[in-house]
């Protein structure tokens, strides 16, 4: 896979703060997905060092990389960058959405098992 070169420019104080927070979220979500920095880098066409720089906020994450990065760590771009979702927006909670996306990656037999467990729990709640 072709590696992406990322230009480094000086950051303002506000940018440093934003990218440190973003990096922390990237690291947390990467770990939740059970990925190493090297594995995430491979998925994104980056080097492990670039991912490491992103995670500590030393480098800016290019806007064009955000959708692929969000998919790789199982979240939305909005959640990744720390944007609050607008009130009244319908759909599953972010954590539930991440779980659903992870379940969809499981083999069919494991998906059926998870659905059986959910059906059982929901039937008990309906009583």
Q: How many CB atoms lie within 10 A of CB 22?
A: 20
Q: How far is CA 125 from CA 118, 119, 120, 121, 122, in A?
A: 11, 10, 9, 6, 5
Confidence check: pLDDT of 1 > 60: no
Alpha carbon distance 127, 100 (integer Å): 25
pLDDT in tens, 52-65: 999 999 989 999 99
Residue 8's contacts (CB-CB under 8 Å, 6 or more residues apart) are 59, 60
Alpha carbon distance 63, 60 (integer Å): 9
Segment (H or E) for 57: none
Burial of 61 (0-12, 13-18, 19+ CB in 10 A): buried
Reference 35, options 22, 51, 18; nearest CA is: 51
Domains in the chain: ranges and CATH = 1-84 (1.10.260.40), 91-127 (no CATH)
Q: How many CB atoms lie within 10 A of CB 67?
A: 12
**Model-wide pTM > 0.75:** no
pLDDT in tens, 92-126: 667 777 778 888 888 888 888 888 888 888 888 77
């Amino acid at each position: 896979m072709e590696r992406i070169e990322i230009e480094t420019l000086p950051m303002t104080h506000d940018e440093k703060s934003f990218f440190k927070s973003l990096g922390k979220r990237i690291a947390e979500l990467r770990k939740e997905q059970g990925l190493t920095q090297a594995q995430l880098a491979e998925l994104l066409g980056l080097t492990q060092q670039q991912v490491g720089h992103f995670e500590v906020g030393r480098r800016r994450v290019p806007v064009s990389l955000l959708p692929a990065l969000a998919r790789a760590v199982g979240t939305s771009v909005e959640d990744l960058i720390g944007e609050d979702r607008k009130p009244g927006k319908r759909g599953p909670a972010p954590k539930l959405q991440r779980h659903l996306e992870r379940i969809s990656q499981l083999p069919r037999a494991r998906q059926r098992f998870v659905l059986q467990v959910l059906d059982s729990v929901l039937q008990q709640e309906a009583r």
